[in-house]
Structure 1
Amino acid sequence: MSELMKAVVLDGPGDPSALKLRQVPRPVPQPGWVLIQVKSFGLNRSELHFRRGMGSFGSFPRIPGIEATGVVVTAPGGEFEPGTQVVAIMGGMGRTIDGGYAEYVSVPAEIVIPFRSELSWEALGALPEMVQTANGSLQVGVGAQAGDTLLIRGGSSAVGLAATALAKHAGIKVISTTRNPAKTDQLHAAGAEYVIIDDGEIFEKVREICPDGVNGAIELIGTNTLPDTLKATAVHGTVCFTGMLSDQWTIPDFYPMDYIPNGVRLTAYSGESSDLTAKSLQGIIDAVAAGELSFPMGHVYQLDEIVQAHEDMESGAVTGKLVVLNP
């Protein structure tokens, strides 16, 4: 008989109360897969979308969670030694295979990234998907360089705060936005040089700071603010569509000639685990440990507080990364 573990199971779409904590069989990894004892995991808005039934793929019942941080229990194929500190990201986690909302998770070896650190598990659990998305948006999506000015639309989100910290660390000047004036100090503390209160139309305020427009922008709100973000961007500048905090994903009757200003580039970033190399992850972890980088932590929950965690994520009541810690 299989050993049991605690896991959060989603039988079908619903509100946060649909997330049920249960005893389920601990997974047994096949060759090419890795069994990880989950020490912590970050919460991501895509998990909220999946819980609501808004995801474009996936099946139920499912243990959600697109990331996990922990230690290797076993890897039958020999890819990792037991005890190795690792993160697992994406690769169908929480959608087509069971994800990180559990005490253990079994995942393909190719989505597992090793690291070494003495940071706390809650600090480590905040990093993988957040920094993968933020770093990918900066480097792959925008191609931002030292000396550029970057607009981060939706700057008080976890990814927005991470992108701000990474950009400042790379010598990039950040203009960040928030709808809530009370979050202004948090955005400055994260590294934003300018903060704009977002009322839906900000391009004129951006151009008061940068008359020719910003060199690049990361759009985290959605398609409802994207046209305004494009207007704030310079000719030959790049806007990267990364997030959908507004839950508006698509553009009805999209006509590029009318939608995109002349000479402004529109790209997107979703990313996979392969975009975050072990070297890059280790470098970011080491920079955090050295005090050179800081990512705001929102709140730390236990596994049996997952409903409250999703309620807080949905309401936006907590600024910073939400993390679940296993004992």
Structure 2
Amino acid sequence: MATMKAVVIHTAGGPEVLKLEERPIPTPITGWVLIRVKAFGLNRSELFTRQGHSPNVRFPRILGIEAAGIVESCPGNEFQKGEVVATAMGGLGRDFDGGYAEYTCAPVKNVQAVKAGMELGWEVFGAIPEMLQTAWGSLFTALRLKREERLLVRGGTTSVGLAAAAIARNHGAYVASTTRREDRESMLKEGGAHEVILDHGAIAGKINEKFDKVLELIGTTTLEDSMLCVKPGGSVCMTGMVGNKWSLDNFSPMESIPTAVNLTSYSGGSEDFTATPLNELARQIKDGTIQIQIGKVFHLDNIVEAHRTMEENKAGGKIVVLT
């Protein structure tokens, strides 16, 4: 039986619980596609799962909610062998084994052919499936961002925040991004932000003009303050939780949500992934219209170090793992 290298988690814990093992290469059935994984990005949801905060994920499990690679086989012929593809979400790495491996199986409905992917190289292409889906979906599905609107990206130095700023600016919006660190200002402006706001937890009192839309990536620790940054009729989209807090304490909607401010969320699913124009976005990255911030690149053998870097917020951009 042919085998592959795979990162398997058997019990929750620190980065060291991720074990590199030999596993059988999965066999796809009709409706699924076997992908030879070339690269994948790391995501904080995988960190939360590793720490034991995803009770619906059963161990042992190969983590990884996204992957970029080449079609190895597809019984239903929806994809041809050798096609360059990406997959994300839809249960990958949670309901069934994911992208932390040399091969992964995914439902065909959750796979996109991305011809422009190879023009980017695996380090860049591997960074974009989940990151761009989340950024695109948050901006245009949840927030319905329009040209010339004012957008605040709360948590601007996250990989999704950087991608969202680039996409929104390219779309014609005015973008302000937040960061806790002064030394990140130039990076944020190079990535697409017109304005950078230093964020120590409360910024509503120091902004000069309120925003039409807010993309909330820090989470519940700043959500109520973000709602105070929005014009009447504007919207806040809760997408990220890098603040590592899952719920609001003593949340009172009548007191916390300002009059005429809309609160929504974005989590993404199979339909959202296939609706994301990945090929077009990849071309814009290749052309330099959209800039993507790659933080650090690791090999599959160094997955423990990669997770530790993510947990300690030391990447400065999206972490990518090559197989």
TM-score using structure 1 length: 0.96
Q: Distance in 2 between matches of 1:129 and 1:11?
A: 24
Q: Where does residue 103 of structure 1 map in the other structure? A: 102
For residues 279 and 89 of structure 1, do their structure 2 counterparts lie closer, same or farther at Cα, with a shift above 3 Å needed? closer
Residues 16-95 of structure 1 correspond to what in structure 2 (within 5 A)? 16-95=15-94
Question: Which residue of 1 is the match for residue 111 of structure 2?
Answer: 112
Summarize the Cα distance change of 1:278–1:270 in structure 2 as closer, same or farther, 3 Å threshold.
Answer: closer
Amino acid at match of 1:44: N
Shift of 1:279: 7.1
Paired with 2:224 and 2:168, the residues of 1 have a C-alpha distance of: 23
What letter corresponds to residue 11 of structure 1 in structure 2? H
- How far residue 275 of structure 1 moved from its aligned partner, in angstroms, is 1.6
Q: Report the Cα offset of residue 276 of structure 1.
A: 3.3
Aligned length: 321
Hey, what does 1:307 align to over in structure 2?
304
Given the superposition, is the C-alpha separation of residues 172 and 33 from structure 1 closer, same or farther in structure 2, using an over 3 Å criterion? same
In 2: Cα distance, 1:15 partner to 1:249 partner: 19
Partners of 1:265 and 1:278 lie apart in 2 by 24
1:156 alignment partner, SS class: coil
Match of 1:130 in 2: 131
- Corresponding position: 1:240 with 2:240: no
C-alpha distance in structure 1 between counterparts of 2:312 and 2:170, whole Å: 30
Shift of 1:56: 4.5
Is residue 65–residue 94 contact of structure 1 (8 Å, CA) maintained in 2? yes
Distance in structure 2 (CA, Å) of the matches to 1:278 and 1:259: 33
Counterpart AA for 2:305: Q
Q: Distance in 2 between matches of 1:197 and 1:215?
A: 19
SS of the aligned residue for 2:23 comes to: strand
> Does the aligned pair in 2 maintain the 1:32–1:76 contact within 8 Å?
yes
Q: Distance in 2 between matches of 1:3 and 1:298?
A: 33
Deviates more, 1:148-157 or 1:197-206: 197-206
Three-state SS of the structure 2 residue aligned to 1:225 is: helix
Partner of 2:318: 321
Pairwise CA distance, 1:205: 2.0
Deviations 1:274-321 (A, max 9, x none): 223477111101111112111011011100111111011001111111
Q: 1:170-181 alignment to 2 at 5 Å?
A: 170-181=171-182
Which residue number in structure 2 is paired with residue 262 of structure 1? 259
Q: Determine if contact 2:236/2:264 at 8 Å carries over to the other structure.
A: yes
TM-score by length of 2: 0.97
Q: Is residue 283 from structure 1 mapped to residue 284 from structure 2 by the alignment?
A: no
CA distance in 2, matches of 1:217, 1:55: 27
Q: 2:212 aligns to what SS in structure 1?
A: strand
- The amino acid of 1:128's aligned partner reads P
Structure 1 stretches lacking a partner, 5+ long: none
Which string of whole-angstrom CA distances, capped at 9 and with x for unpartnered residues, describes residues 40-74 of structure 1?
00000000000001124211000000000001000
Matched, 1:227 2:227: no
Q: Structure 2: any 5+ residue segments left out of the alignment?
A: none
